[in-house]
């Protein structure tokens, strides 16, 4: 995702990337700098780690603290992790001063985030409910009406449906399955993971 901003004839183009860790962030930044080596500056910032505990930024030749830090502050303030940002600047001939540079770099990142949109990673768990064939039709109908669509349904000695639910609702799902089948359903708790949920602007 790239978003461009022009400030007093200088162009600030912010490119964002989702990255799984620090190595991926560094690789993205290295490739971007190589592709835009004709730019005046390629300033960078990234936040990685499950809780955003790893952060790094670079001014790439701009006055200290006027580019990388303002970029990083936007990422941290927005609560992001797994995100790398590069702002490519093409100098327009007018000096902006330290305050102007910091605002421009920060605004470029904020604009790119707004344009891209945000997702929140929420913990989920896969629950497997097994019922006899005689109950399967009604159970699956009730399941579709109340819970997310099953990721898999298997027909064997019993009918098994895998449903990914928010982790905090796993107990509720098990109780619902028992009630919907008068205790006939066998429910197993499976793999835990995360699901991306769009965040309203």
> Chain centroid to CA 10: how far?
30
Pairwise CA distance, residues 102 & 104, whole Å: 6
Per-residue model confidence as pLDDT tens digits over 13-50: 999 999 989 999 999 999 999 999 999 999 999 999 88
Mean pLDDT for 89-100 is: 84
Per-residue model confidence as pLDDT tens digits over 134-189: 999 999 999 999 999 999 999 999 999 999 999 999 999 999 999 999 999 999 99
* Confidence (pTM): 0.67
Q: Name every residue whose Cβ is closer than 8 Å to that of residue 42 and which is 6 or more positions away in sequence.
A: 29, 32, 33, 36, 60, 86, 87, 88, 89
Is it the case that residue 80 has pLDDT exceeding 80? yes
Q: Of 84, 66, 90, 72, whose CA–CA distance to 13 is shortest?
A: 90
Q: What is the mean pLDDT of the chain?
A: 91
Domains of the chain from N-terminus onward = 2-116 (3.30.230.30), 120-199 (3.30.70.240)
Is it the case that residue 73 has pLDDT exceeding 90? yes
Q: How confident is the model at residue 92, as a pLDDT?
A: 79
Is it the case that residue 51 has pLDDT exceeding 90? no
Pairwise CA distance, residues 42 & 88, whole Å: 4
């Amino acid at each position: 995702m790239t978003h461009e901003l022009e400030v007093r004839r200088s162009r600030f183009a912010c490119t964002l990337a989702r990255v799984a860790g620090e190595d991926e962030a560094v690789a993205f930044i290295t490739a971007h700098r190589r592709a835009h080596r004709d730019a005046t500056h390629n300033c960078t910032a990234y936040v990685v780690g499950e809780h955003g505990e790893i952060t790094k930024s670079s001014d790439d030749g701009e006055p200290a603290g006027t580019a990388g830090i303002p970029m990083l502050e936007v990422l941290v303030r927005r609560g992001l992790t797994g995100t790398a940002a590069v702002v490519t600047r093409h100098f327009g001939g007018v000096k902006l001063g330290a305050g102007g540079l910091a605002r421009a770099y920060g605004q470029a990142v904020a604009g790119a985030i707004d344009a891209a949109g945000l997702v929140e990673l929420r913990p989920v768990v896969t629950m497997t409910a097994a019922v006899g064939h005689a109950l399967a039709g009604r159970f699956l109908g009730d399941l579709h009406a109340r819970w997310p669509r099953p990721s898999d349904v298997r027909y064997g000695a019993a009918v098994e449906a895998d449903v990914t639910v928010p982790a905090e609702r796993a107990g509720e799902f098990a109780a619902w399955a028992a009630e919907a089948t008068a205790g006939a359903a066998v429910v197993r708790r499976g793999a835990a993971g995360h699901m991306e949920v769009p965040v309203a602007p």
